[in-house]
Amino acid sequence: MILPTLSAADLADISTGSLLLDDFVFVYVQDRLAYRITVTPDVATAREVEGAARGGALEAGKPLLNPLPATKRPPKAARAAKIRERGP
């Protein structure tokens, strides 16, 4: 969602550390997305509600940001190895 909106100058600023990708995410979420807050009686209920929402149980369907993956992802070590195979 965010990466395609970044300019070459934005990417250069992120690579030097003068800006953070998190800042672009914050602005994107604040300007373009809506979110809801629900109070629950305990952590277990909160996690259950979160999982249901991320899985698409709400009328709006799965969220655009942070939905549950459709399939199980490979382990992080395998994903990291794939990136390292690409080289510097």
How far, in Å, CA of 18 to CA of 15, rounded? Answer: 8
Whether this prediction's pTM lies above 0.85 is answered by no
User: What value does the mean pLDDT take over residues 66-72?
Assistant: 82
Per-domain residue ranges of the chain: 1-33, 35-88
Whether the predicted pLDDT of 70 surpasses 80: no
Task: Determine the average pLDDT of the residues in 54-62.
Answer: 90
Q: What is the tens place of the pLDDT at every residue in 13-48?
A: 999 999 999 999 999 989 988 877 899 999 999 999
Q: How far is CA 66 from CA 6, 11, 54, 56, in A?
A: 20, 22, 7, 11
pLDDT of residue 40: 97
